[in-house]
Structure 1
C-alpha cells in the first residue's frame, strides 16, 4: 500500500529484514542507491556490518543504512536535512520494529562540525550530486573524530568528480555504474 507523499519504495536485499519493502518520500534530488550498486557494496563489506556502529550521512531513502541494520549493525544513525524525508525514515524504522536506529534531522555538514561523542565503524556518504558536499563531509569525518580506528567509508558521487579522500584512507574498491561513482575506503590510524 502506498503512503501519501511517497513516490516509490526500496527493498532490503539481505539479512534479517530481507525482502522488506519500505516507502520512499518524494523529494527533489532523492535518488536511492540502486539494488545492483547496494549488492556490490555489501559484497565488498562482507561481514563488516556485524555489530558495527553505522552513520548514514545525507540518508535520503536510507537504503544503505537500512541494509546495514538488516545485516546486524549494532546501531544506526541516519542524518537527513529534509523534515518530511526524516519523518519517513523514522516511520520506516518503526515499520522494521528496530530500536537500534535513530534519525537526526539536521544539515550533515553542521552536524559533522561538532566533535563526535563516539566514533563509527562504517559511514555512508551519498550527498546530492553537483553541490560540492562530499569533500567537505569527508574532511569533517576525519578531523572531528567521527571514525573508529579502522573505519570503512563508502562514498557515492557523480561520475567524473575528482574527489580527494584524507591521506590516511586507503581505497579498497571502486565502481562506476551509470551516473554514479562509488568508492569504499578503509581508514588507517595516523601516528
Structure 2
C-alpha cells in the first residue's frame, strides 16, 4: 500500500497484508483509492482536496486521510477504536512525517463526542461492511458539529446505505464489491 500522489507520493505505508480480520481492517485497495482520488481532484465535485480539513472515520490504516493530506489537504483527524488500527495510523503518520498536521482520536466512530474544533470539509467513512455502523457514525458526526455546511462525505460500503434526512446522495460509484457513495449536507 502506497501513497499514490502529492507530497508523499510513492511512500510505502505499513503493511497489513490482506487485512486483519480480527481487527476488522480492510484497507481500500490502491486501485480503488486512485479512482476515488481522481474523482475528488476535479470534475463533478470540483477540487475537494485543496486546503481540506479531513475527518477519517473508521480510519484503519489511515491511508485515505494521508492521501488527502498528501494532495494539499490542510489537516486530518483520524478516528478509530482498534488498538491495531491506532498503531498502524501512528506508524503511517510517522512515515509521512505529518505529525504536525494529524490528530488521532482513540474512540468509537459511532460515539463521537461533540467537536470542539473547527468542522471538517471532507469526511471519509469506511466502516466494517454491512453492519449498519456507517449510519450510526454519520449521525454522531452530524449531531456533534463535525461537518461544515459544504462538506463532502465519501462513504464506502458493500451494501446500499440508508441516507440520513440531513444529507443528499450525490453519486454512487461501484468498484467490484465496493460502493463509494458521495453525499453532502442539505442546505438549511
- TM-score computed with the length of structure 1 as normaliser: 0.86
SS in 2 for 1:176: strand
- 1:144 Cα shift? 2.1
Moved more, 128-137 or 169-178: 169-178
Q: In the TM superposition, what are the counterparts of 1:23-38 in structure 2 within 5 Å?
A: 23-25=14-16, 27-28=20-21, 29-38=24-33
Asked whether the equivalents of residues 62 and 88 of structure 2 are also in contact (C-alpha less than 8 Å), the reply is no
Instruction: State how many pairs are aligned.
Output: 177
Corresponding residue of 1:20: 11
Asked whether the equivalents of residues 90 and 102 of structure 1 are also in contact (C-alpha less than 8 Å), the reply is no
**In structure 2, C-alpha distance between the alignment counterparts of 1:176 and 1:30, rounded to whole Å:** 20
**In structure 2, C-alpha distance between the alignment counterparts of 1:170 and 1:106, rounded to whole Å:** 27
Summarize deviations over 1:113-138 as a string: whole Å, max 9, x none: x2212211000000011322011112
CA RMSD between the two structures = 1.6
User: Where in structure 1 are there 5+ consecutive unaligned residues?
Assistant: 1-9
Asked whether the equivalents of residues 153 and 183 of structure 2 are also in contact (C-alpha less than 8 Å), the reply is yes
- 1:57 Cα shift? 0.3
Corresponding residue of 2:160: 162
- CA change 1:168–1:130 in 2 (3 A) is closer
- 1:73 Cα shift? 1.1
Q: Is 1:64–2:64 an aligned residue pair?
A: yes
**In structure 1, C-alpha distance between the alignment counterparts of 2:114 and 2:40, rounded to whole Å:** 26
Q: In the TM superposition, what are the counterparts of 1:170-185 in structure 2 within 5 Å?
A: 170-185=168-183
- TM-score computed with the length of structure 2 as normaliser: 0.87
- 1:14 Cα shift? 0.7
SS in 2 for 1:11: coil
More helix by share: 2
**In structure 2, C-alpha distance between the alignment counterparts of 1:150 and 1:128, rounded to whole Å:** 26
Corresponding residue of 2:109: 108
SS in 1 for 2:54: strand
- 1:167 Cα shift? 2.9
SS in 2 for 1:21: coil
Asked whether the equivalents of residues 4 and 34 of structure 2 are also in contact (C-alpha less than 8 Å), the reply is yes
Asked whether the equivalents of residues 59 and 78 of structure 1 are also in contact (C-alpha less than 8 Å), the reply is yes
- 1:69 Cα shift? 0.8
Q: In the TM superposition, what are the counterparts of 1:85-104 in structure 2 within 5 Å?
A: 85-98=85-98, 99-104=100-105
Corresponding residue of 2:44: none
**In structure 1, C-alpha distance between the alignment counterparts of 2:167 and 2:129, rounded to whole Å:** 22
Q: Is 1:43–2:34 an aligned residue pair?
A: no
User: Where in structure 2 are there 5+ consecutive unaligned residues?
Assistant: 42-46
